[in-house]
Amino acid sequence: MKLLVSGGGTGGHVYPATSLIQYVKAVEPDSQFLYIGTENGLEKKIAEDAKIPFESIDIQGFRRSLSLENITTVKKFLVSLKESKKILKKFQPDLVVGTGGYVCAPVVYAAHQLGIPTLIHEQNSVPGIANKFLSKYTDKVAICFDEAASFFPEKKVVLTGNPRAQEVAEVSPSRILETYALDPEKKTVLIFGGSRGAYSMAKAVTEILEELNQRDYQTLIGTGNLYYKEMVTQSKGMHLTNVKIVPYIESMAQVLASIQLVVGRAGATSIAEITGVGLPSLLIPSPNVTNDHQTKNAQSLVKKGAAETLKDNELSGKLLLKKIDALMLDEEKLSTMSKASKSMGMPDAAERLYLLLKEIQ
């Protein structure tokens, strides 16, 4: 199989693409791959780290309000459409998959114009602009939440889940926490603000670092690159031995398999990872996303008893600590939430997506 994938902007669009590629590599070792993204996007680093061939195009997203910038966006779309066609003709893929973000719009649309089978993968309960647009031209639409189906042509929609869930579900507990100078035998909570970090979460966590350091459980904090230096500066003189602060969690799958609770945003890929492992979670949906889709993502877990939530505009260090304590110190609650989370996971999501690709190939 010659597979071309495109998606970017956030890890939530990129990791499903790379997880799918890893699965296809395992079942069809002779396959060839190409990733198309933006030169300065997160997708370039992730693809290159995974040793996936990468090509870039110059594209930007639409402003939601009236703006002269949208004229530039249209011009860039037309140029990137032409460039995408050149790349497609050179690589000659059997299939093209878009995983969301504005970068995949010209790529998948170009593939449609060239008669190449296409599929888009929507991770969230409420789709973004790019996937809504592309659904008119693609052969199939793979979704992760039932709630997303109503936004797309009914005959094209298939529930596959997020391939990242299968990748994470196959990882066993390990002593990975030792690499973060933490005790692998001790109960651990991960506080993670996403690939970019989250200001409100970083602020609240900074307020309770000393209290977290005194707990019977330990804490691993992924701040995101934007807030790492500030939190480290604020923690100077605290002598933190029970808390580890890092800018980013490189070994996320291994970490998730070795902890007891996740505190974080409610992005679709995060939820796929959490339910893939079967972890309890305390979710703080970002208010800065399209159609408040993270709140809708989180509610799917809350309804099943797999998660609890906190509103971003109500977040404070005191309330966050109270919520974490209530969960981490209640073994029965954690166990019940874990079972509910596991029941929602789709450990065969990558296989489902692969079989859908074979169907349209």
Whether residue 299 sits in one domain with residue 245: yes
Which one, of 337, 270, 265, 271, lies nearest residue 306 by Cα? 337
DSSP character at residue 218: E
DSSP character at residue 348: T
Distance between CA atoms of residues 246 and 248, nearest Å: 6
| Count of domains forming the chain | 2
Q: Average of pLDDT values for 134-159?
A: 95
Q: Which residues are annotated as a binding site?
A: 10-12, 124, 195, 249, 294
Q: Which residues are annotated as a binding site for UDP-N-acetyl-alpha-D-glucosamine?
A: 10-12, 124, 195, 249, 294
Whether residue 129 sits in one domain with residue 31: yes
86: CATH: 3.40.50.2000
- Residue 114 structural domain: 2-162+347-360
What pTM does this model have?
0.84
Residues 294-331 pLDDT 10s: 999 999 999 999 999 999 999 999 999 999 999 999 99
Whether residue 116 sits in one domain with residue 225: no
> What confidence tier does 64 reach under pLDDT thresholds 50, 70, 90?
low
Distance between CA atoms of residues 315 and 330, nearest Å: 22
Whether residue 220 sits in one domain with residue 76: no
Residues 89-128 pLDDT 10s: 999 999 999 999 999 999 999 999 999 999 999 999 889 8
Whether residue 356 sits in one domain with residue 338: no
Q: Average of pLDDT values for 341-347?
A: 92
3-state secondary structure 235-255: HCCCCCCCEEEECCCCCHHHH
Whether residue 151 sits in one domain with residue 30: yes
